[in-house]
Structure 1
Amino acid sequence: MEEAKPDRATRTRNALLNAGFELLADRSVEAIPIDDLISAAGVGKGSFFNHFGDKDGFKAAIAIHIRGEIEAQISHANSDVENPLERLVGGMREVTKYALENRTRTLVLLRMNAGATTKDYPLNEGIFADIEACCAADLIRTQSVEMAVLYWLGLCVALMALVVENSLSQAEAAGKLQEMIVLGLTGLGTQEASTHTIANQSASLLKHG
């Protein structure tokens, strides 16, 4: 069956988002005139306000779109993984892979500093669930699930920045991923033997995947 083509409103919204992905790689959203956005998208000014309301709405939509892509990639990679520690590490591996394959969008996300951190933020449900499952299985030790999530998110963001800002190769990124996993899991109190084993496995998957 032939896929249905997106309607005009969807095409317009996507054109504006795609223009944002390109322009926001070099400038903050505050530094981009709306006229530049609509010109790059090839749409009327009214379309921008109809879809996003204002620049804050546009910024939020860009962030949600990119985070949604990353979360979908993580969910796909972890679809057959039951061990919560492996799922946690798989998430870090996939954000590294995303940064390698989507440099512009990663730069946009980092530039906007748009990583929401609250538990009720929909795109954080997975990492909260994995951290809680790791605690329940005594795979990590933390006094605060919320702080453990913030810690892990911070390491993931730092790793993505390292990849795009230094234009790392896949092999170089795999090496840094291995180091970051060891650092992250050690900080969460994971047993040393498990830490190195899972770090080596995940780095190998990124390097050869």
Structure 2
Amino acid sequence: MAVNSFNPIFKATGEAYVEFNKSDPTILHTNPAFHVERVKEGKYAWIGDKTYIEIAMASECSLVSIKEEFMPLIYVFGFKDNSPHSAMFSKQMIKIHEIGLFQIWKRKWWPKSNFCAGDSIPEAKPISLMDVQSAFYVCFTGIFLGMVAFLIEIILQKYWSFLQKRRNEQKSDTKTEEMSNKTANNRFIINTKNTRM
């Protein structure tokens, strides 16, 4: 029992159960349905088996459970000491758990919760600029990066066309010099021929 627990929280809870049991002996009633009915009547909270609570919540819209698990209970199968079946049974149960069969079976066979009218009515909240602020950041970042890429492309295009133009000028200068050198050589040859005559 929780009174004998080494965990101080569980121990304090167990002691509170024993103390409260003196004024209301029904709090340790063994039938979960009894506690669910007391919860429905109001001003009563029940710490009980999650399985039974989930089943009760599936059929009753007014019941709510907290998300935190308090003192989780583990179910086990008992075997005699040194039973030849315990190792095989443990191995198969671990396989069933690891491959997710428990969850599949729970979805298939667990009672589905009823449609509760209050569950489907969302509260409308007006959207403020702060709610969509990150979308603006993404848009502005995209625009900025696009403009930077565009400017880099223009600069590179101008740089490559400048280099191409310069290469063409150098080629034309080289051709012009070669042509002028050939012309000068031809004149020299012509002039020497004229002088020999």
Q: What TM-score, normalized to structure 1?
A: 0.18
Q: Which has the higher contact order (CA 8 A, sep 6+)?
A: 1
Higher Rg of the two aligned structures: 2
Q: What TM-score, normalized to structure 2?
A: 0.19
User: Which structure shows the bigger proportion of residues in helix conformation?
Assistant: 1
